[in-house]
Amino acid sequence: MTAPKVLISDSMSSKAADIFRDRGIDVTVSPKMSPDELKDAIGEYHGLAIRSSTKATADLLQSATNLKVIGRAGIGVDNVDVPFATKQGVIVMNTPFGNAITTAEHALAMLFAVARQIPAASASTHAGKWEKSKFMGAEITGKTLGLIGAGNIGSIVAARAHGLRMRVIAFDPFLSQERAERLGMEKVELNDLLARADFITMHVPKTKETVNMLDVDAIARMKKGAFLINCARGGLVDEEALRVALDEGRVGGAAFDVFAEEPAKENPLFGHPNVVVTPHLGAATTEAQEKVALQVAEQMSDYLLDGAVANAINAPSLTAEEAKTLDPYITLVKQISSFAGQVTDEEVQSIQLTFEGDAKNLPHAPLLQTAVQAVLAPRLSSINMVNALEIAKERGIEISHTKNEADSDYHTRISVSLKTPTMTRDIKGTLIAGKLPRIIEVKGIAVESDLEGDMLYVTNQDKPGLIGAVGTIFATKGINIATFHLGRTVPGGDAIALVKVDAPVPEEVVAELRTLDYLDRVVPLKF
């Protein structure tokens, strides 16, 4: 098999390239490519490793015809068009833990710097002045720290703040009461935090929900004289409104490492005596940059070689061991869902998976993605596991799954149920010996068969002569039957057949089969 190819298009530790090479991946390091050069080259690569300089825009991604994964050595993915990457079926990974300590430390350093006016005092002293009485700072001990965002970085800041004898309160919609108590912080609403906190630090991503979350009204609700520190993402704070509040003395000071527009050559906060600014240095330590470079190389290698997904923005995480365990189940779901999709002519309104037996304890997200991809693939050639759920959402298709706790005759059984405007179709499958996928039921009729290669799905009334009639037509056309599996409701009732053949059945032969009186439907299948 040809080795996957990865392009490192930003400057990062050389050890990242070493990891790719050691794992057998063909790596190219080219950190000084222009956007046009990158666009011309990207089509041959399966992976793109970046930091913040490369802009993975929709225009670039349209040229990335072989791309499977983008790895961001760092937390923020503002420079990646994640929705478009998802539509293209490209996994986007970041490294949320490699620079967490460094970023948390920078937030605290900025807190100290603005509280004690250290940068201004340093510049004054360097200038030969001795303005001791000019720089009156604020004490940290005993003050209330308000965290906006209490995830990985926020929790590290909280732990360090406890060592400074600060009280910690936090606003985070995803923070449970149990975790808040474990981290020694009080969970509060945003307005409560703004009113109580002496120092506010921000630790949230930039999303449509968080853009300008501290607008003019929110800033007006801040405790008079409070300090605001943002080392998370630019655009979380209305910078113009903050400048007004600083000028009026309602906000005691601000420390910003990130800005709405970067690189920030001009900004409303620049030049204010009570504002400390740095050029997006939150993750800028030697230790952090090496950590994230190594981490992104390992994650991308694991995905390209083993299918393991870690720290993905647009896909569920899956270890290499989980991927290996899931492999037969994914094959089963893919086959029975593909069967359901190929035999369904109408618009699909909903897709539901039901898990029984051993399948109940599996990670279900990858199986749902597989099912949606396989069902819709006959209509959408560009669909894959990464973009499947997004495409289903765009088309208004409801996706769900459930566990059947009742006793089953099978060690594992998975059902795919499709709902259309006029019907519901149920397909069930199992694994023989834990690894061999088999279809075992179609629309309530028991029929066992493997699903591979070229097949025909036939529905008919249970009358004598089906096998002979089909066999005769195939014989005259030189088509060899590999297997012939039958099922029926009751003698003389509805019946189905799954016929495996050695080659695709020509359309004219399918048309001839459809002329037989006792056949209701004939559908060619391909697995």
User: Rounded CA gap, 56 and 527, in Å?
Assistant: 34
**3-class SS at 360?**
helix
Question: For residue 147, what are its two tokens?
Answer: 């965290």
Please state the φ and ψ torsions of residue 115, each to the nearest 5 degrees: -65, -35
Tell me how far apart the alpha carbons of residues 411 and 434 are, in angstroms, rounded to a whole number.
8
List the structure tokens of 113: 């710097």
Residue 105 falls in the annotated catalytic set: no
309 contacts 396 by C-beta, under 8 angstroms: no
254 within 8 A of 114, measured Cβ to Cβ: yes
Catalytic residue among 23, 233, 243, 413: 233
Phi, then psi, of 225 in degrees rounded to 5: 85, 0
Q: How far apart are CA 125 and CA 121, in angstroms?
A: 6
- Count of CB atoms situated within 10 Å of the CB of 493: 10
Stretch (H or E) spanning 382:
none
CB 313 within 8 A of CB 354: no
For 116, the token pair is: 């004690």
3-state secondary structure string across 471-507: HHHHHHHCCCEEEEEEEECCCCCEEEEEEEECCCCCH
In the residue annotation, 280 being an active-site residue is answered as yes
Catalytic residue among 262, 448, 452, 512: 262
DSSP state of 379: T
What's the DSSP call for residue 223?
P
Cα–Cα distance measured from residue 447 to residue 428, given in angstroms and rounded to the nearest whole number: 10
Q: Residue 233 catalytic?
A: yes
**Catalytic pick from 51, 280, 364, 425?**
280
Q: Which two tokens stand for residue 483?
A: 């297997």
Dmax (CA) of the chain: 107
Query: Which residues are known catalytic residues?
Result: 233, 262, 280
